[in-house]
Amino acid sequence: MSVIYWEEEMETLPRVGLESIQLRRLQHLVARVYKTVKPYRRKMDEAGVKPEDIQSLEDLRKLPFTAKEDLRNNYPFGLFTVPMEEVVRVHASSGTTGKPTVVGYTSKDIDTWAGIMARALCCAGATKEDMVQNAYGYGLFTGGLGAHYGIEKLGATVIPVSGGNSKRQINIMKDFRSTVLLSTPSYALNLADAMDSMDIAPTSLSLRVGIFGAEPWSENMREEVEKKLNLKAVDIYGLSEVMGPGVAQECLLADRGMHIFEDHFLPEIIDPDSGEVLPPGEQGELVFTTLTKEAFPIIRYRTKDISRLIYDQCECGRTLVRMEKVTGRTDDMLIIRGVNVFPSQVEHVLMGIEGVEPHYQIVVEREGNLDTMSVQVEVSEGLFSDEIRVLENLTKKIQADVKSLLGVTCKVKLVEPKTIQRSEGKAQRVIDNRKIW
Amino acid sequence: MRVEQIAVFLENKSGRLAEITAILADNDINIRALSVADTADFGILRLIVNDVEKAKNILQDGGFTVGKTDVLAVEVVDKTGGLATVLKCLHSAGINVEYMYAFVNKSGENAVLIFRFEKMDEAIEVLSKNGFTLLSGEQICAL
């Protein structure tokens, strides 16, 4: 198989050359952010670091980290570096409480992102000949639109079907002869089941590559999805705070790991407790600094994703470092059907409903191939009623509020007092029975 | 002429009803009337007992969520159409029933209908005006 690159020079640059580009971009970024964004300037001043202190890539570690809380504290646009008239699009993802995390893009950012996404698609073996079915959700979530612009940039045909409605997805797949599928891995398996019930053999379709991401998935799941959909499944990584889909992409040749597009995103692996940068190859928390973004650059963003960087030369010829499949989180964030869910958000909903004491537990299961979330709430005297209707309305309200805030449908189960286990220290708010890591 | 009823939240799991009735029996609480309303996930047990406060306290101590509500107890002659007459009268007065249950007393002559209405005061007025007998808590316990 011949390897296709989108930007061969940048993707195969010797490390010395790459690092000099990274440093130049980093210096430029830090100077700009220091000048234009007050919260960044304040944090750098507190840490006693000036833009001119960045003389090497090593100096990156002098800079303070940025966390999700910084985005919340500056909600919605406080960390943007350009006036709003230059921002042509915003996206948002779940915040840890009621407010989402908002990011913005200039027209040039959208173009840069499309180019990076086109690179990712090439890396996964897609070409302009392909018919690409984009089943990532379109909307505030970066997945749908982020991938969409990349597919167009590549010159392939995009089918902007968005998520859901499996039967329609499969009919489109069959009639349009889709060759590449983009979705969450669990949704891909769901499509396989739907195909089965519609009596459509995957071999009768034209799918050849699946680019799956936005949620963690195991090697077992890869085997299953490859077998059931008769395609080659590759992993894609991204997060809205850094850009969206396309931060890193697995190639068809690597036995493990996704190439990080390092000329745009500078990765570090740190010890999540001490914040110290770990030696190459060690496992720790992934941290990203964007090098080319205009509207919403980010410095040393703590992703809370656990991974490892692999510096070995890849067979595909790309010199870009690879990140191992994410193997865990340093916080309690859950990913349910591609949507980030923090237990604190669920708590926020419950606290907003009169009478509900925050004795709750979130139970996540994988039923068939879809993740389900149920929220168990203890019935206190404040919310109890002798009428079924009142209690049913309560569960419906919790369900609707969770759906509206998080975008995830959950089941709500009312339980008797003291049925949810209390532990000595922190209450166990989440039981995740999926075994996905 | 309201009657106090206690309601207990029940998860649909085996043995809960047995547990509650055992707690009541151990504490000499006599159940005069009872109904269970259930959904797929939970149930509500409604009870008329001889000692409301005591029953409520011991069940709360036992870890149950307990509520207290007022209901009306209507005594009718235990014969065909007894309930229908009451409901017809309420319907024509525009009073909706939230829920109801019934039992027949020892003598077998009369039936007692337990009602919960959204508009309790109006219901009392309509039923009294139409000559129906409303029982008090003491009267039910004395049956």
Average pLDDT in chain A:
92
Contact B63 A381 (CB under 8 A): no
In a domain, A367, yes or no: yes
Of B54, B69, B84, which one is at a domain's C-terminal end?
B69
My answer on whether A164 and A257 are in the same domain is: yes
DSSP, residue by residue, A198-229: TT--GGGS---EEEEESS---HHHHHHHHHHH
Residues A204 and A77 reside in one and the same domain: yes
Q: Are strands A87-93 and B133-135 parallel, antiparallel or unpaired?
A: unpaired
| Within-domain flag for A159 | yes
**Same structural domain, A271 and A396:** no
Q: Which domain holds residue B40?
A: 3-69
Q: Over the Cα atoms of chain A, what is R_g?
A: 22
pLDDT at A355 (0 to 100): 64
**Distance (Å) from the alpha carbon of A112 to chain B's nearest alpha carbon:** 51
Which residues are CB-neighbours of A387 under 8 A, at least 6 positions away?
B44, B98, B99, B116
Chain B, 117 to 136: residues with Cβ < 8 Å from chain A are none
Evaluate whether residue A403 is within a structural domain: yes
The verdict on whether omega for the bond into residue A76 sits within 30 degrees of 0, i.e. cis, is yes
Last residue within a domain, chosen from A331, A350, A379: A331
**Residues A323, A199: one domain?**
yes
- Distance CA(A375)–CA(A359), nearest Å, equals 10
pLDDT reported for residue A425: 54
Give yes or no: residues A261 and A410 share one domain.
no
Last residue of a domain, one of B69, B89, B107: B69
Q: Which residues of chain A have pLDDT under 70?
A: 1, 97-98, 355-357, 423-427, 437
Rg from Cα positions in chain B? 16
One domain, residues B56 and B28:
yes
- Find the residue in A nearest to B37 (Cα): A388
B86 and B28 together in one domain: no
Cβ burial of A279 (10 Å; 0-12, 13-18, 19+) is exposed
At A95 the pLDDT is 73
Q: Yes or no: say if A102 and A92 are a contact pair by the CB < 8 Å rule.
A: yes
How many Å apart are CA A206 and CA A185, to the nearest integer? 18
Q: How confident is the model at residue B130 (pLDDT cuts 50, 70, 90)?
A: very high
- Determine what percent of chain B is predicted with pLDDT higher than 70: 99
User: Does A3 reside within a domain?
Assistant: no
Burial A407-420 (b: 16+ CB within 10 A, else e): bbebbbbbbbbeeb
| Total domain count, chain A | 2
The string of pLDDT tens digits covering residues A32-50 is 999 999 999 999 999 999 9
Six-digit token string for A70: 């910084």
- Considering the domain boundaries, does residue A111 fall inside one? yes
Q: How many domains does the structure of chain B reveal?
A: 2
Q: Which residues of B touch A386 (CB under 8 A)?
A: 5, 7, 44, 46, 67, 69, 116
A138 shares a domain with A41: yes
Regarding whether B38 and B97 lie in a shared domain, the answer is: no
ipTM of the complex: 0.88
Domain boundary among A331, A362, A396: A331
Q: Which amino acid is it at A267?
A: P
Residue B99 sits in a domain of what CATH number?
Answer: 3.30.70.260
The minimum CA-CA distance between A380 and chain B, rounded to whole Å, is 6
Assess whether B21 and B84 both reside in one domain.
no
Position A245 in a domain: yes
Q: Where does a domain end: B45, B69, B93? A: B69
Task: Identify the CATH number of the domain in which residue B53 sits.
Answer: 3.30.2130.10
B contacts of A387 (beta carbons < 8 Å): 44, 98-99, 116
- B115 with B101, same domain? yes
Residues B33 and B77 in one domain: no
**Interface residue B10 vs chain A (CB under 8 A):** yes
CATH code: domain of residue A60: 3.40.50.12780
DSSP string, B7-30: EEEEES-TTHHHHHHHHHHHTTPP
Note whether A322 and A408 are same-domain residues.
no
Q: Do A156 and A64 share a domain, yes or no?
A: yes
Question: What is the pLDDT at residue A74?
Answer: 95
Å from B24 to nearest chain A CA? 18
The answer to whether residues B92 and B45 belong to one domain is no
Q: Are residues B10 and B23 in the same domain?
A: yes
Q: Is residue A437 in some structural domain?
A: no
> What is the rounded (10 degree) CA torsion for A87, A92, A95, A100?
80
**Mean predicted confidence (pLDDT) in B103-111:** 81
Q: Are residues A264 and A380 located together in one domain of the fold?
A: no
Is the pTM higher than 0.90? The answer reads no
Q: Are A414 and A381 in contact (CB under 8 A)?
A: no
Mutate to test the interface with A, among B42, B57, B114 (most CBs of A within 10 A): B42
Same domain, B11 and B65: yes
Interface of A with B in 335-394 (CB under 8 A): 379-381, 384-389, 391-392
The confidence score (pLDDT) of residue A427 equals 66
* Structural domain containing residue A80: 8-331
Question: For residues A306 and A284, is the Cβ–Cβ distance under 8 A?
Answer: yes
- Whether residues B63 and B89 share a domain: the answer is no
Q: What is the pLDDT of residue A423?
A: 61
The verdict on residue A1 lying in a domain is no
- The answer on B62 and B86 residing in a single domain is no
Polymer length of chain B: 143
pLDDT of A339: 85
| Neighbouring residues of A322: CB distance < 8 A, sequence distance ≥ 6 | A248, A254, A256, A257, A258, A259, A260, A309, A310, A312, A314
